[in-house]
Amino acid sequence: MLKPETRDRLKSVSTATICTALFKRGLRNQFVQDVQPLNPDAGTMVGEAYTLRYIPAREDLNPISVFRDRGHPQRKAVEECPEGAVFVIDSRKNPRAASAGSILVSRLMKRGVAGIVTDGGFRDSGEIAKLDIPSYHNRPSAPTNLTLHQAIDINVPIGCGDVAVFPGDVVVGDCDGVVIIPAAIADEIAEETVEMTAFEDFVTEEVLKGRSILGLYPATDDRTQEDFAAWRASANR
Amino acid sequence: MLKPETRDRLKSVSTATICTALFKRGLRNQFVQDVQPLNPDAGTMVGEAYTLRYIPAREDLNPISVFRDRGHPQRKAVEECPEGAVFVIDSRKNPRAASAGSILVSRLMKRGVAGIVTDGGFRDSGEIAKLDIPSYHNRPSAPTNLTLHQAIDINVPIGCGDVAVFPGDVVVGDCDGVVIIPAAIADEIAEETVEMTAFEDFVTEEVLKGRSILGLYPATDDRTQEDFAAWRASANR
Amino acid sequence: MLKPETRDRLKSVSTATICTALFKRGLRNQFVQDVQPLNPDAGTMVGEAYTLRYIPAREDLNPISVFRDRGHPQRKAVEECPEGAVFVIDSRKNPRAASAGSILVSRLMKRGVAGIVTDGGFRDSGEIAKLDIPSYHNRPSAPTNLTLHQAIDINVPIGCGDVAVFPGDVVVGDCDGVVIIPAAIADEIAEETVEMTAFEDFVTEEVLKGRSILGLYPATDDRTQEDFAAWRASANR
Amino acid sequence: MLKPETRDRLKSVSTATICTALFKRGLRNQFVQDVQPLNPDAGTMVGEAYTLRYIPAREDLNPISVFRDRGHPQRKAVEECPEGAVFVIDSRKNPRAASAGSILVSRLMKRGVAGIVTDGGFRDSGEIAKLDIPSYHNRPSAPTNLTLHQAIDINVPIGCGDVAVFPGDVVVGDCDGVVIIPAAIADEIAEETVEMTAFEDFVTEEVLKGRSILGLYPATDDRTQEDFAAWRASANR
Amino acid sequence: MLKPETRDRLKSVSTATICTALFKRGLRNQFVQDVQPLNPDAGTMVGEAYTLRYIPAREDLNPISVFRDRGHPQRKAVEECPEGAVFVIDSRKNPRAASAGSILVSRLMKRGVAGIVTDGGFRDSGEIAKLDIPSYHNRPSAPTNLTLHQAIDINVPIGCGDVAVFPGDVVVGDCDGVVIIPAAIADEIAEETVEMTAFEDFVTEEVLKGRSILGLYPATDDRTQEDFAAWRASANR
Amino acid sequence: MLKPETRDRLKSVSTATICTALFKRGLRNQFVQDVQPLNPDAGTMVGEAYTLRYIPAREDLNPISVFRDRGHPQRKAVEECPEGAVFVIDSRKNPRAASAGSILVSRLMKRGVAGIVTDGGFRDSGEIAKLDIPSYHNRPSAPTNLTLHQAIDINVPIGCGDVAVFPGDVVVGDCDGVVIIPAAIADEIAEETVEMTAFEDFVTEEVLKGRSILGLYPATDDRTQEDFAAWRASANR
């Protein structure tokens, strides 16, 4: 389970910093490729992955009437995704039909879900952009998902944007996009990236004052370490 | 001819809803792939398709001087496209040179054309974004169209974003992108989607109040039908 | 060296107009394909190209510790790029890892660099979007550049977005994207495009008044030339 | 279960004819896109689908030692795939690392498996090309599958080359590639395509004698029907 | 009309040499991108372009029954393409459904057509590979063309593999692929490339004897010119 | 320098086995993506990398006359590439114009060069396929390299098919494609892969006799180790 303090810490750091922390551990491929936020002002998204797997739609199995079945995996998943989780859809990187639309995303929002990610596209993208739930996709796509996608599995390991996503992995999203943190290291990544962020904020301030990055970033000059210590003290970080 | 009431109805619905209505009729491939609005606040675009076909440019046939010919198909089309129509360009999904620029789009706007769509790109995209005519393309592209495109045919059937577009088809655009409605079914699609939209608006309201989608969307619970009837009465829709 | 008056002239014209002037000289491939501004309101970018070449990263050569070397080409380049130049990175059109992040871009801004362009992606894209330095990339990308890129050469001829970029070429960027002007013709292109822009502004005004483009654009009617002369006189251009 | 006579019939027809029979039933998307035979002379492949699902590989979960686990899904699947079945791998259309190599394909061959298909690539492609088991992939790929793929599920519904593949569907492969026949209609498709093939063989003979296709293909001339009846009688088909 | 001696000359030269001759005239974009011969041993293909234009298929307009219409453009074109011409299809670079199959290609062969080119794919590719008519496509594709393509126009200017093809242009194909020579310069290109080929054959012989390319290719050494003159005399070329 | 025994060892192993040995060392990205042999029967290619870097061609700098300059980097490189080396070209993965043609490849062959690799395409591909020098490209391409490529640097670090190639790295090619071994570990990779190949050959023999892969591959059963020892003894390996 994602600890509240880990969630809070991850809300205060960037996907870029997390990617660097993962890179140091040999995890080079955790950034979901080619998705973007519909509502970049919705704030940093953090939550455990709850997944939905799509396969290509076969016409005879996907008439519009399938949604009348309350057990249809897409609808079932929307009602069962836990509060605080992030709903992650494997759309096989295919945005030519929608992964979901504004009604389902609204329902997720109302249920307290922390965000939604697809490597395909959303329909009603203008509506979703106004909702208060961080949402990430490749590009808008008006056709109903039945056109190309069949929801087949709930909460199994999937691929999303070329990244492995296991249920329970921690998903973080910001302006740059979405990163997947393996569940087992979420706490340590959160701690480490909070530290890294303090240093990066210090560096940014120094750079904006006109200081050279050499010796500063990374901190190969002794003076940098000293200045950073002083900055932390004065900034209370 | 596009009836005024059909135009009005289509202005009040979304491309997503239209795609679903077309899907029910077996038309799964009417959404123009991978184009986006330059001016998403310009409102829903509706009009009959007036088409322009490009082929690859051969260097000797496309010096800058070709535009001195008043019969050049691109310029001729801009002056002849009917008021209220949508100007649709087959740029072979190639945005590496422009399909058109702000002067031509301005002229279309002044002539009362309802919108412009290309599966390539526009130059002067910053200017076009400020014009009061809905415009859709793949991405900005500064090179003159002569670099890669030769305008060859006016108002013939074309492909645009992997969709068949016949002159007279009804073109609708919103935030999600652009959909092509076959001329023969435009009236019925308009009627049906207005009805669908009423239901979707009702569902959205209910969802935002916290109601589950099960039994509501689609309306498999009897209560949903009753609630919807009451909503329509009270909302005058 | 880029003359101040050439810089000023190029700041007043568009990449679209420059592309047309280059096209007339047989240069059809100077527009950097598929990059977009992060901060489109930062104004037109003009400067001489200062280049950085990346090759694919080999894991053993690119641990996080490489940045401790003050001679690392990426960091060295950021400190040595001349004031007024544009920093252009050959990222092999690969945005799956970052080309740079907000700290380096901030440093470039503080050093008076005129802009930055990559055919890959930037991390910290939300931060960069707020900086007062025109920045162009393909899409946001959070992973550290060491994941996929190794900086290898400073200020050599490179490719960027399928365009040849030689150090000293003049780089211009606006809403549409980025164009590369060969150094030897920058002055004449600047002069010519200022003239072309005057005419295009005149045409735009006329079109917005309702005039047909036939005979006006291009100016095949004698009256157009006369009207333009009058317009220039009255508009002081 | 695939009936022996259905298997035999399908061995005598082409994927093109099967695609047409499926098209007539509204199934337009059953051809596995962009795979090719390594050993086109190995004959037509027919068998029921036995599937293996890959997700992207996470580095810490996929060291070379994972294959020491006898329960590793890739190895387990190779030993459990039924005789006469076709082994179909969902490699997410990613041929940048191998889906399998010659040792595993040899084992499948020895176990009597009817063929193997991946929408990724095989390593040891030169060896596989010499084996007597029909094999289809996108392109050769030497890196071990652990580089980019983690085998995760056995015999679940998957996507392969943009087609839905359910365990038990009937897979047919020839020079053109691979088609997936839904299990429930395999018998009727087999019967119908044998009939269609007889007609196509007749047409081909006639065309090679110099006859026009008009009235012949399709058989809109009465004479064509008569000639075909005579041909069937004399050819014993 | 293509002169017999021009046809003969072009049969003796390569597409590479033709591309160089076109390049010298400023025509840089005449090579059909990404098509390959199905039957590379069928010899060099030469003929005037006869074109067929496809647009995306709309489901309601493209049931299997459309081929019962003798006026269907695809079938009509196959019967009307002139002897000695090359049948060139604009399939919008989409090989996901067939452009044609072996029966139509057989009919073209019997009618004396000189070759067939599509920037899509052929079905029955194994059969076509055995026919004695040069055939070029992107890759095999079993689905009937109605799945994705609607034949719409005969013998109009088209794009094929990103090249402009006008009816009557001269089409040449060999192992490398297909090049389009504008009709007006076919004679001069034929003459020039025969000369170039003589020199290249001489150079190849010299290189295979061990001579350096410097001074030889191109012939910047006087001795090269002399040796070539002697070679022509002795080789009767 | 590449030792003769290392060269010999690498000639006896496959690129697949080498990729696995590199993977064990954390090098996951050494396989040149999407190139294929023109002459797969030419045998395994082994040699040290000698590189040529291309950038996009600017029209004014790349008329056909540039080849008259004996110092033109492409021609110079062909004459200077050491005997036994592999000539590797960074064509920016662009096969739309040729990287080289049969005359240059013939010259390399005569000079004793061990092979040639481009991530673009070769012209005269039919001729090259008959030469006795292993050659790898993406696809045939007839246009002269001047159309899109300018040779700019000799023997610098490059990217080829998404792999870093440093001069002196050891390049190995077989049916699957091409792999790059960092110079410093070429000897140990050669030794290790010869051992691995012995085991794989033993496994293949066992599998072809009908043995299960479980316990055999990898050798987790004690009996496998014993059988392998016996096999080596009897097979003299």
Give the pLDDT confidence of A161-198 residue by residue, as tens digits. 999 999 999 999 999 999 999 999 999 999 999 999 99
Whether residues E15 and F142 touch (CB distance < 8 A) is answered with yes
Task: Give the dihedral sign, CA C207/C212/C218/C223.
Answer: negative
**CA-CA-CA-CA torsion sign (F24, F25, F31, F37):** negative
| Predicted pLDDT of residue F1 | 85
- Rounded to the nearest angstrom, the gap between the alpha carbon of residue E179 and the centroid of all alpha carbons in its chain is 5
Alpha-carbon separation of residue F99 from E24, E214, F55, F139, F196 (angstroms): 18, 18, 11, 11, 35
Say what the ipTM of the complex is.
Answer: 0.96
**Residue to substitute from C78, C124, C150, interface A, most A β-carbons within 10 A:** C124
CA distances from D88 to D54, D136, F206 (A): 11, 9, 24
Each residue of F33-45: pLDDT tens digit? 999 999 999 999 9
Task: Tell me the CA distances in angstroms from C95 to A162, A175, C143, D124, F59, one per residue in order.
Answer: 14, 15, 10, 31, 28
Q: Which residues contact F45 (CB under 8 A, 6 or more apart)?
A: F86, F114, F115, F134, F136, F171, F172, F173, F174, F178
Q: How many CB pairs under 8 A join E and F?
A: 83
State whether residue A82 sits within 8 Å of chain D by CB: no
| Residue of E1 and D137 predicted with greater confidence | D137
Partner-chain contact C14 B124, CB within 8 Å: yes
Q: What is the mean predicted confidence (pLDDT) over D23-28?
A: 98
Tokens of A117: 């990610």
Closest-CA residue of B relative to C138 is B139
Q: Which long-range CB contacts under 8 A does F60-68 form with residues at least 24 apart?
A: F60/C25, F60/C26, F60/C27, F60/C182, F61/C164, F61/F150, F62/F146, F62/F150, F63/F146, F64/E20, F64/E23, F64/E24, F64/F144, F64/F146, F66/F146, F67/E217, F67/E218, F68/E218, F68/E220
Whether residue E103 lies within 8 A of chain D, CB to CB, comes out as yes
Contacts of B87 (CB under 8 A, 6+ apart): B50, B52, B77, B78, B81, B108, B113, B115, B116, B117
Burial class of residue F82 in the structure, from the number of CB atoms within 10 Å of its CB (0-12 exposed, 13-18 middle, 19+ buried): middle
User: H or E stretch including A52?
Assistant: strand A45-56
> Tell me: the pLDDT tens digits for F197-217?
999 999 999 999 999 999 999
Q: How far apart are the first and last CA of chain D?
A: 27
Is C168's Cβ below 8 Å from some Cβ in A?
Answer: no
CA distances for C223 relative to B198, C216, C226, angstroms: 55, 9, 5
SS3 of F31, please? strand
Chains D and F touch, contact meaning at least 3 pairs of CB atoms under 8 angstroms apart: yes
Three-state DSSP at B121 gives strand
Dist. CA D215–CA C119, nearest whole Å: 56
**Identity at D198, one-letter amino acid code:** A
Average pLDDT over residues D60-77: 96
Q: Report the DSSP pairing between strands F177-181 and F170-174.
A: antiparallel
pLDDT of C164: 98
Q: Do chains E and A touch (3 or more CB pairs under 8 A)?
A: no
CB-CB neighbors (< 8 A) of E125 in chain D: 175-176
Per the DSSP assignment, residues forming a β-bridge with E160 are: E163
Lookup result for tokens 């092509």: B180
B1 pLDDT higher than 90: no
If DSSP codes are grouped into helix, strand and coil, which group holds residue B171?
strand
D19·E107 Cβ contact <8 A: no
Residue identified by tokens 């309350």 is A70
From the CA of F29, how many Å to the nearest CA of chain D?
8
Q: Residue E134 has what pLDDT?
A: 98
Bridge partners of residue C32, in order along the sequence: none
Condensed to tens digits (0 to 9), the pLDDT of residues A66-101 reads 999 999 999 999 999 999 999 999 999 999 999 999
Of A192, A165, A167, which Cα lies nearest the Cα of A179?
A165
Nearest to B141 among C20, C176, C200 (CB): C176
CA of A111 to nearest chain D CA: how many angstroms apart? 29
* Spatial separation of the C-alpha atoms in residues A52 and A154, rounded to whole Å: 5
Is residue B128 within 8 A of residue B102, CB to CB? The reply is yes
What share of chain E in percent tops pLDDT 90?
Answer: 99
For chains B and F, having 3+ Cβ pairs within 8 Å is answered no
Asked if C28 reaches chain B (Cβ–Cβ under 8 Å), the answer is yes
* Confidence at residue A236, expressed as pLDDT on a 0 to 100 scale: 93
- Examine the pLDDT at E74 and tell me if it is beyond 90: yes
pTM above 0.95, yes or no: yes
- In C, minimum Cα distance to F93 occurs at C92
Nearest CA in chain F to D97: F31
Residue numbers of chain C with a pLDDT score lower than 70: none
Per CATH, the homologous superfamily of domain D31-181 is Ribonuclease E inhibitor RraA/RraA-like (3.50.30.40)
Mean predicted confidence (pLDDT) in B199-218: 97
Q: Alpha helix (H) ranges present in E139-219?
A: 186-209
Residues in CB range of B171: below 8 A, 6 or more apart = B45, B46, B47, B48, B49, B86, B88, B115, B117, B165, B178, B179, B180, B181
Residue from the list B176, B207, B220 with its beta carbon closest to the beta carbon of A125 = B176
Prior bond of B95 cis (ω within 30°)? no
Helices E15-24 and E186-209 pack at an angle, to 10 degrees, of: 120
How far apart CA C236 and CA C230 sit, in angstroms, is 10
Do the Cβ atoms of F72 and E213 come closer than 8 Å? Answer: no
pLDDT above 90 for B29: yes
Q: What is the mean pLDDT of residues E157-182?
A: 98
Domain range summary for chain B, segments of one domain joined by +: 31-181, 188-235
Q: Which residue of B has its CA nearest to A70?
A: B214
> pLDDT digits over E30-57, tens only?
999 999 999 999 999 999 999 999 999 9
| F175, F200, F212 member nearest D126 (Cβ) | F175
Q: Are F182 and F169 in contact (CB under 8 A)?
A: yes
Q: Which residue of E has its CA nearest to D37?
A: E140
Q: SS3 of D181, please?
A: strand
**Four-residue CA torsion sign, A17, A18, A19, A22:** positive
CA distances from C193 to B106, C11, C13, C229 (A): 21, 11, 7, 17
Mean pLDDT for the stretch of residues D88-100: 98
What residues have CB less than 8 Å from F81, skipping those under 6 apart?
F50, F87, F108, F111, F113
Using the beta-carbon criterion (under 8 Å), do F153 and C156 form an inter-chain contact? Answer: yes
pLDDT confidence of residue A38: 98
CA distances from A180 to A187, B221, E94 (A): 13, 39, 35
| C/A Cβ contact: 3+ pairs below 8 Å | yes
Spatial separation of the C-alpha atoms in residues B1 and B7, rounded to whole Å: 10
Torsion angle (degrees, nearest 10) of CA F25, F30, F33, F38:
-120
Torsion angles phi and psi, residue D131, rounded to 5: -80, 155
Which chains have 3+ CB pairs within 8 A of B?
A, C, E
Query: What confidence score (pLDDT) does residue D1 get?
Result: 85
What are B165-195's pLDDT values in tens digits? 999 999 999 999 999 999 999 999 999 999 9
DSSP readout, D17-81? HHHHHHHHTT----BPTT-EES-GGG--EEEEEEEEEEEEPPGGG--GGGGG-TT-HHHHHHHHS
Nearest to F184 by CA among F199, F205, F164, F168: F168
Q: Do E16 and F103 touch (CB under 8 A)?
A: no
Q: If pLDDT is split at 50, 70 and 90, which confidence band does B6 have?
A: very high
Name which of F13, F189, F207, F224 to mutate to probe chain D: the one with the most chain D Cβ atoms within 10 A of its Cβ.
Answer: F207
Mean pLDDT along residues A201-217:
97
Measured distance CA(D34)–CA(D45) in Å, rounded: 17
Find the CB nearest C23 among B96, B126, B146. B146
Whether C159 and F148 have beta carbons less than 8 Å apart is answered as no
D38 contact residues in F (CB cutoff 8 A): none
CA distance B124 to C197: 12
Residues in contact with D8: Cβ distance below 8 Å, sequence separation at least 6, in sequence order: none
d(CA A104, CA A110): 10
Q: What is the pLDDT of residues C105-157, one digit of tens each?
A: 999 999 999 999 999 999 999 999 999 999 999 999 999 999 999 999 999 99
Which of D19, D22, D171, D176 to probe by mutation at the E interface, max E CB count within 10 Å?
D176
* Partner-chain residue, chosen from B27, B58, B162, that has the shortest CB–CB distance to E182: B58
DSSP state of F141: -
**In chain F, what is the straight-line distance between the N-terminal and C-terminal CA atoms, in Å?**
27
Q: How far is Cα B146 from Cα B91, in angstroms, rounded to an integer?
A: 12
Residue F161 structure tokens: 């098919």
Give which of E138, E108, E140 is closest to E123, Cα–Cα.
E140
Residue carrying structure tokens 């940093």: A44
Res. E1 pLDDT band, cuts 50 70 90: confident
CB atoms within 10 A of CB E66: 17
Q: What pLDDT is stored for residue D207 in this prediction?
A: 98
What crossing angle do the helices spanning C102-110 and A186-209 adopt, rounded to 10°? 0
